[in-house]
Structure 1
Amino acid sequence: MNRDSSKWLVTLSVTFGTLMGAIDSSIVNVAMPQLRSAVGATVQEITWTTTGFALATVMVMPLTAFLGRLFGQKRVYLACLGLFVVGSFLCGLAWNLPSLVLFRALQGFGAGALQPTEQAILRQTFPPKEQGMAMALFSMAVMVGPAIGPTLGGYIVDNFHWSWIFFINVPVGILGFFMVARFVREPEDVLIANRLEGEKQRENLDWQGILLLCVGLAALQYLLEEGQTNDWFESAEIVVCALVAGICLVAFVIRELTAVAPVVNLRLFKDPIFASGTVLSALMFSILMASMFLLPMFMQELLGFTATQSGLALMPRTLLMLAIMPIIGRVYTRFPPQLFISVGLAITGLGVYQMSHFNLDTGTHNIIAAILMQGLGFSMMLVPLSTVALSRIPRHRLPDATGLNSLLRQIGGSIGLAMFATLLSRYGTQATAALSVHLTPTRPEVMERLAQLRGGFMARGMDFTAAQETALRMLSGLTARQGLVLAFDKLFLLAALLFLLVLPLVLFLKAPPRSDGPHETPHIDVEI
């Protein structure tokens, strides 16, 4: 088999796992009512199905390279894919809330290593001049998964049993497992380097680093997932999580910089290209995920879309990204990456700004026009960022770098979601209160609207008192609804401004010299 056909088989093989993991991060959201009914959980309790998955995922991501050196990169990928498939199957059989949360955590432990391992494998498989294409393929899996998850989940829930949102992973995962086993080969230089470092790790196993990392990340992710629900630092539980996360993560950094064989190689941040690319990627991902989170909520809560309808309305953005990302990957080497990122930021910001003018009369065509611009902007940003950040990392260090890159991107997205969810609640309350001030009996338009509502209810058989009370409640509900529209618009405007404010930071992005040399990644002087 020639190299050209081999690299595409490798790409197809490892993409199955990443795509399923990305889909599962969002597919469960649309099935919450069915899951609550099936396991007898409250609204608050059922959120643990997503929290458990997220906690497990972030704990595994930075440990991917450590596990790869101990057991082999390919074996770790296969083991995690197998764990994800088993967890998916068990989720479909869950009989109560604890079992569902436990099996979702198993899924998360499996999914956590899939994304960084695929990124490393693709970087090791494609030659330097095609690294942009490799990262375009990776970015497609990372972004398309959460985009199609709600649509796929809505269709399954509407037409089949809820358990099939989990069972569908089983045949796809098994196919991916056998394809990886058959077509993926670890490069000889990577195997030798991992074998040598694996022996060093076994002799100096960094148990302290593993413990500090897991506890610190679990506390941080829990804080971000549950902070809004628990009113942030008004809750003693959240305060404790913040203290534990801060202490453990600071101690973890100190430990990793002094350990003989650190479990996570933080010294990679000494490379300015990796550091600037990773930090900028995390920052932009936080704004990007927040803006993607708001629009489906707006459509479902205010425009009356079902989960399936909102997913279908967002599908043009996904299709455009599928078409544009490979093109960006192919022409990536012809222009400076800062140019792609800057133009992408501006286009995305403009698309989000258009959403700040949405109202209750907004139609699907208005939504599609705005999200198509975002899809083009996303494509122009994500491919160069993923490519630049890893451009000077030695091949045997790619799992370390991709684990850190994926982790910071995940945490950035969680921070963005937490901030915007909190602001949505706060802005909605403020806007509703401001509108309610104008609902006085002295205003003729208020009395006219109230009389219309009361007359409508009386025409349906209500007496005057009942019709008056119902009309007042409806007027209050309409006010709250309009206040929520104003809150969404304010947040869309804020997201657009944040995209533009990130633009100057692109100047700090270090870019490597272009190379069309042999199939090797340049070496950087990073202590081990």
Structure 2
Amino acid sequence: MSSIAASPSGVAIPARAPTNKWLVTLSVTFGTLMGAIDSSIVNVAMPQLRSAVGATVQEITWATTGFVIATVMVMPLTAFFGRLFGQKRVYLACLALFVVGSFLCGLAWNLPSLVLFRAVQGFGAGALQPTEQAILRQTFPPKEQAMAMALFSMAVMVGPAIGPTLGGYIVDNFHWSWIFFINVPVGVLGFFMSARFVEEPEDIRAANRLEAQKQRKHMDWAGIVLLCVGLASLQYFLEEGQSHDWFESTEMLLCALVAGFSMVAFVLRELTAEAPVVNLRLFKDPVFTSGTLLSALMFSILMASMFLLPMFMQELLGFTATQSGLTLMPRTLVMLVMMPIIGRLYSRFPPQLFIGVGLALTGLGVYHMSHFTLDTGKSGIMVAIMLQGMGFAMMLVPLSTVALSRVPRHRLPDATGLSSLLRQIGGSIGLAVFATLLSRYTTQAKAALAVHMSADRPEVLTRLAQLRAGFMGRGMDAGSAQELALRTLSGITARQGAVLAFEKLFMLAALLFVVVMPLVLFLKAPKHTSGPQETPHIDVEI
């Protein structure tokens, strides 16, 4: 049966026969999943990369920083490029750019070439997430929007979760270059499937043609420049701030000032431009604003907790990268099972219920992590992360669905670009804040414990004597045994201090989940309808 789509100008346009929605979903998910995996897969291969390109520990971080900066610069411009060149063309071009960048990363011969090719990867990856989200929202009917967002959320969250595990396995068993080469066949498959099965709806084409004419006539070059400078400065500040001691560094202070000035000027420019490159007026809709901000806030806490636990396992419990990745796998499996279920049940219950329960479960899981010790085993860790997996699934699907529930179809790329950008920045802020707090809390905890390690305390003398006797029993002389006992006791104290720091951070993360819970009350989703797909309306000037 044919259908009629209405263009923004009111002209009825016959719609094409719809392609199977599951083939469309599979086609566009390849790109998003690869981009999400590549945001974390490189981290476990840093030692091998550093050796291969002859870089220092500080220099090799640019391989990640360059990728992230390029990604955030493209995300909000996705809709702009889609209007000028077509949504499908932009997706295919960015997927091709990502695949080419991946192949070149595997061939990198020095640090500048690696950073450059990672930036190429990032420019390609930046448009994949928001474009897939918009395509799925335009492909699935209104009553199945939650299922569409469940599939999208699976790709966004599963990628960073399996990235370290996959990267650890590849590095342990193959050459480091295969963490990049593996993207090539998958990307090529995704490219040809997207070219074959993904179609741009006629009403979206018509809306984009009208907007493109206006954009070409009033090209917002000032907005593009301010956006790129502001986001690049902000992301560099968040990525490199800790290593430069934040505002103690003139370089970081300058970056913060440039980012602040550029972003304020960008907002003012976009609100007055004839044809703004980014449609900030979407934030006039309270549902989109509250859903997007809450999602960014949740993502910042989630990314921080996902960053802390692998560090705890590897640095204090002695897990390898592969072991820690496998221990975290149950969280990913729970999310894979739960997200489609939440997508099915979404229309039967208020979204606030799902998000509230998700917050509670995730907070409970993180609270359980605040009781980890050096004796904690894999079973104890799995209980906490499975609770988190259930909570993540119950939060992310409703948040993604509600935030876009009142955005017109032809404005979905604008909205998804903004929501993807805020999620990325929120995650970067969470990582920066918690990494800084971890360093400070560890120093404070070690200093507090050191006060109790004075040589006149009987328990300290007893412990030293036990260690000294043990070393002498292994054949060491008295002087060497005493020196090694002192170093061992110092190491034990340092490890306990680190445990206390992690416990404090996990408790803080759990409290943050409780603190943000009242924000759920501001989310108001429109009532579900079972009629034909329609273009929702919000009072937004376009």
Decide: shared fold, TM above 0.5.
yes
Contact 1:273 1:512 (8 Å CA) reproduced: no
Give matches, 1:374-413, under 5 Å.
Answer: 374-413=388-427
Map of 1:258 onto structure 2: 272
Partner residue of 1:504? Answer: 518
1:460-483 Cα deviation digits (max 9, x unpaired): 444333332222122111111110
Correspondence for 2:197 = 183
User: 1:91 is matched with which residue?
Assistant: 105
Partner of residue 248, structure 2: 234
Does residue 223 of structure 1 match 2:264?
A: no
Amino acid at match of 1:50: T
- Superposed displacement of residue 153, structure 1: 0.3
Q: 1:276–1:510: 8 Å Cα contact kept in structure 2?
A: no
What is residue 90 of structure 2 aligned with on the other side? 76
Q: In 2, distance between residues paired with 1:92 and 1:448? A: 55
After superposition, residues 310-349 of structure 1 pair within 5 angstroms as 310-349=324-363
Which residue of 1 is the match for residue 258 of structure 2? 244
Shifted more, 442-451 versus 187-196: the winner is 442-451
Where does 1:13-412 land on structure 2 (aligned, <5 Å)?
A: 13-412=27-426
Q: Identify which range, 455-464 or 312-321, moves more after superposition.
A: 455-464
Deviation at 1:450, TM superposition (A): 1.2
Decide whether the 8 Å contact of 1:341 with 1:385 is kept in 2. yes
- Paired residue for 1:450? 464
1: CA distance between counterparts of 2:53 and 2:488? 34
Aligned-partner Cα distance in 2 for 1:96–1:78: 29
> What is the distance in 2 between the residues matched to 1:315 and 1:48?
28
Instruction: For 2:532 and 2:317, locate their aligned partners in 1 and report how far apart those are by CA, in whole Å.
Output: 54
Greater Cα offset, 484-493 or 464-473: 464-473
CA-to-aligned-CA distance 1:391-410 (integer Å, 9 cap, x gap): 11111100000000000011
Letter of the 2:263 partner, please give it. Answer: L
Measure the CA separation in 1 of the matches of 2:476 and 2:245.
40
| Cα-to-partner distance string for 1:183-234 (whole Å, 9 max, x where unaligned) | 0000000001001101111111101000000000000001110111111111
Q: 1:489 maps to what in 2?
A: 503
1:434 maps to 2:448: yes
Q: Which stretch has the larger CA shift, 449-458 or 335-344?
A: 449-458
Q: Mind listing any 5+ residue stretches in structure 1 that lack a counterpart?
A: none
**The 10-residue stretch of structure 1 (377-386 or 4-13) with the greater mean CA deviation from structure 2:** 4-13
Structure 1 residue 288: Cα displacement: 1.0
Q: Is the 8 A contact 1:277 1:510 kept in 2?
A: no
Q: Which residue of 1 aligns with 2:12?
A: none
Give secondary structure in 2 for the equivalent of 1:229.
helix
**Within 2, Cα distance between the matches of 1:452 and 1:136?**
57
Q: What letter corresponds to residue 127 of structure 1 in structure 2?
A: P
Partner-residue secondary structure (3-state), 2:242: coil
1:128–1:521 CA contact under 8 A, matched in 2: no
Cα distance in 2 for partners of 1:342, 1:350 equals 12
The one-letter code matched in structure 1 to 2:47 is: P
Matched letter for residue 361 of structure 2: I
TM-score calculated relative to the size of structure 2: 0.96
Query: Which residue in 2 is equivalent to 1:10?
Result: 24
The alignment status of 1:523 with 2:523, answered yes or no, reads no
Give the root-mean-square deviation of aligned CA atoms: 1.3
Contact kept? 2:19, 2:198, Cα under 8 Å: no
How far, CA to CA, are the matches of 1:277 and 1:266 in structure 2?
15
**Deviation (angstroms), 1:444:** 1.7
Aligned residue in 1 for 2:8: none
The one-letter amino acid of 2:107's match is L
Q: CA–CA distance in 2 between the matches of 1:348 and 1:165?
A: 31
Cα drift, residue 337 of structure 1: 0.5
Equivalents in 1 of 2:89, 2:101: separation in Å? 18
Instruction: Give the SS at the match of 1:458.
Output: helix
SS state at 2:149 partner: helix
Q: Give the percent of matched residue pairs that are identical in Structure 1 and Structure 2.
A: 83
Q: 1:469, 1:212 → 2: CA distance?
A: 59
Distance 1:512 1:327 in 2: 21
Aligned to 2:11: none
Where 1:276 maps in the other structure, the secondary structure is: helix
| 2:438 matched residue in structure 1 | 424
- Cα distance in 2, alignment partners of residues 411 and 66 from structure 1: 20
CA contact (8 A) 1:277 1:386 kept: yes
SS in 1 for 2:25: helix
CA distance in 1 between counterparts of 2:436 and 2:398 reads 31
Q: CA deviation at 1:150?
A: 0.4
Which structure 2 residue ranges, 5 or more long, are not aligned?
A: 3-16
Stretch moving more, 463-472 or 221-230: 463-472
Q: Distance in 2 between matches of 1:510 and 1:222?
A: 35
CA–CA separation in structure 2 for the residues paired with 1:199 and 1:175? 34
SS in 2 for 1:109: helix
For 2:452, what is the secondary structure of its paired residue? coil
Give the whole-Å Cα distance in 2 for the aligned partners of 1:247 and 1:519.
42
Deviation at 1:459, TM superposition (A): 3.8
The count of corresponding residues between Structure 1 and Structure 2 is 528
